């Protein structure tokens, strides 16, 4: 398989995963957790004594996947995936959650993009970490305020998303090493 073909296939896999994270996160908030509040989110523990809406797991993954989509396919595909994911979420989540999710995701992805793009060519792992951390803070504040009118779960949101970003770093490190070995260029 040629490097260009491998890069495109991997990019498409990352793109599909990224596009699905929004609706999966919205579905999880209403259906997955150790505790589900009536008329509220389902919660998961992210540290002892610290809870977060369960969708945080998918949003942490989304921030990393957006970076990988951009690396493999370019910025245009990343932007299209944000729109695709928001449209898919409309079929799964209540309207108020879709709006909060879409706005938060758009703003956090723009923040992620602004940090990731200038750093990515020199330091992929550092770029993914820095951009994801900025994106997850923006996403957490905007989403919680718009969806629930409260920042009560902000610490849990940040910790939960950060866990998912940190869990992805070994894969990003592997990908960078493999790209160097195979001579795979970023988009």
Q: How many CB atoms lie within 10 A of CB 174?
A: 10
How far apart CA 49 and CA 153 sit, in angstroms, is 12
Could you report the per-residue pLDDT of 54-66, keeping only the tens digit for each?
988 898 898 899 8
Whether the per-residue pLDDT at 93 is higher than 90: the answer is: no
Asked whether residue 12 is assigned to any structural domain, the reply reads yes
For residue 53, give the CATH number of its domain.
1.10.1760
Asked whether residue 44 is assigned to any structural domain, the reply reads yes
Could you report the per-residue pLDDT of 110-136, keeping only the tens digit for each?
898 889 989 987 888 999 999 999 999
- Interhelix angle 56-73/124-148, rounded to 10 degrees, is 140
Asked whether residue 39 is assigned to any structural domain, the reply reads yes
Asked whether residue 67 is assigned to any structural domain, the reply reads yes
Mean pLDDT, residues 133-140 taken together: 93
Q: State the pLDDT at residue 9.
A: 94
Mean pLDDT, residues 28-48 taken together: 88
Strands (E), the chain: 35-36, 42-47, 50-53
Give the global pTM: 0.85
Q: State the pLDDT at residue 69.
A: 93
Task: Give percent of the chain above pLDDT 70.
Answer: 93
Whether the per-residue pLDDT at 21 is higher than 70: the answer is: yes
Asked whether residue 187 is assigned to any structural domain, the reply reads no
Contact assessment for residue 66 and residue 18, using Cβ atoms and an 8 Å cutoff: yes
- C-alpha 181: how far from chain center: 27
Contact assessment for residue 26 and residue 89, using Cβ atoms and an 8 Å cutoff: yes
Question: What rounded mean pLDDT belongs to the chain?
Answer: 86
How far apart CA 179 and CA 121 sit, in angstroms, is 12
Domain count, the chain: 1
How far apart CA 184 and CA 181 sit, in angstroms, is 8
DSSP 8: H
Task: Give percent of the chain above pLDDT 90.
Answer: 40
Could you report the per-residue pLDDT of 152-182, keeping only the tens digit for each?
889 999 999 999 999 999 999 999 999 888 8
Q: Which two three-digit tokens encode residue 170?
A: 């070994």
Domain encompassing residue 14: 3-182
């Amino acid at each position: 398989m040629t490097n260009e073909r491998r890069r495109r296939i991997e990019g498409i896999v990352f793109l599909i995963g990224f596009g699905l994270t929004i609706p999966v996160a919205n579905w999880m908030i209403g259906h997955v957790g150790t505790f589900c509040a009536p008329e509220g989110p389902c919660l998961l523990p992210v540290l002892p004594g610290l809870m977060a809406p369960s969708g945080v797991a998918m949003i942490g993954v989304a921030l990393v996947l957006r970076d990988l989509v951009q690396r493999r396919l370019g910025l245009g595909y990343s932007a299209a995936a944000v729109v695709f994911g928001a449209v898919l979420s409309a079929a799964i989540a209540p309207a108020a959650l879709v709006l909060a999710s879409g706005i938060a995701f758009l703003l956090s992805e723009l923040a992620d993009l602004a940090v990731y793009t200038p750093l990515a060519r020199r330091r992929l792992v550092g770029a993914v970490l820095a951009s994801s951390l900025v994106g997850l803070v923006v996403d957490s504040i905007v989403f919680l305020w718009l969806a629930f009118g409260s920042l009560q779960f902000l610490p849990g949101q940040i910790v939960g998303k950060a866990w998912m970003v940190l869990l992805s770093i070994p894969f990003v490190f592997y990908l960078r090493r493999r790209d160097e070995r195979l001579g795979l260029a970023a988009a």
